[in-house]
Chain A
């Protein structure tokens, strides 16, 4: 990724992430979060993680943010009133943030990768093709499609991710499926109106359907 683009997208991501906590209107905060996530997806794609970048846009900027906006509309929350906040807590939060930034910066500085640019670690197509063909010969499942793309000098990210996911992380994928099922059941249970209490239960429902 060219340096100007990297600076543009990281500034976009960081700036709108700050705007999320600086805005007092929740709708504005949610929309800022969408822009921040789109910038982040661009950074992912710049790191040649194309699949993760697309998933970031589809899941976060699409589904999750629509859910957020939907809930905000449902509850018609007014803006938070400005309140003086605890100086000590704010200073503590900023201090922890700066400390973590220095920690990560220090680790990266002592680490070889910290000083490397993306051009210093190019994808080694020849080595990858040889290793994949050796693996395929010894019976490990390797996508021929992805190997063919590598031979043309293209990084077929989705095929490689799928290969990894369904070979090495199959059990985890099924566990995620169960987790999502449980989350769905939990959401339905939480969202169900408890019928015996007509006052508290139905008033919330009426309010939601009016707005």
Chain B
């Protein structure tokens, strides 16, 4: 919203944020050894985050396509019909 106004790029940036959280989780799971092995609980959370993110992107892109069909634009600054 600050620099980019395309709904698609906002979704991409969301993926980057989730990936940052994933990287932190994997790093902590490797450094915090659980019974001599990396802590696989953290990697499970990463696995679920990846799965949920994939589902979320599918739904998000469907919403973007529906938006483009009705408005012919995906610029989020022009979508103000609910603001007043």
By a beta-carbon cutoff of 8 Å, the part of chain A in contact with chain B is: 17, 20-21, 26, 29-30, 33, 36-37, 40, 43-44, 47-49, 51-52, 55-56, 59-60, 63-64, 67-68, 71-72, 74-75, 77, 80, 83, 85-86, 89-90, 92-93, 113, 116, 118, 121, 123-128, 131-132, 155, 160-161, 164-165, 168-169, 172, 176, 179-180, 183-184, 186-187, 190-191, 200-201, 204-205
Q: How far is the CA of A80 from the CA of B7 in the complex (A)?
A: 11
By the criterion of a CB under 8 Å from any partner CB, how many residues of chain B are at the interface? 56
Count of chain A to chain B residue pairs whose CB atoms are closer than 8 Å in the complex: 178
B13 touches A176 (CB 8 A): no
Within 8 A of A (CB), among B51-65: 51-59, 61-65
Chain B residues contacting A92 (CB-CB under 8 Å) are: 2
Q: Digitize B29-72: 1 where CB-to-A-CB distance is under 8 Å, 0 elsewhere.
A: 11111011110110110111011111111110111111011100
A204 touches B68 (CB 8 A): yes
Contact of B44 among A67, A125, A164 (CB under 8 A): A164
Q: Which of A17, A63, A160, A165 contacts B54 (CB 8 A)?
A: A63
Contacts of A121 in B (CB 8 A): 30-31, 33
Within 8 Å by CB of A176, from B26, B48, B57, lies: B48
Per DSSP, are chain B's interface residues mostly helix, strand or loop, or mixed? helix
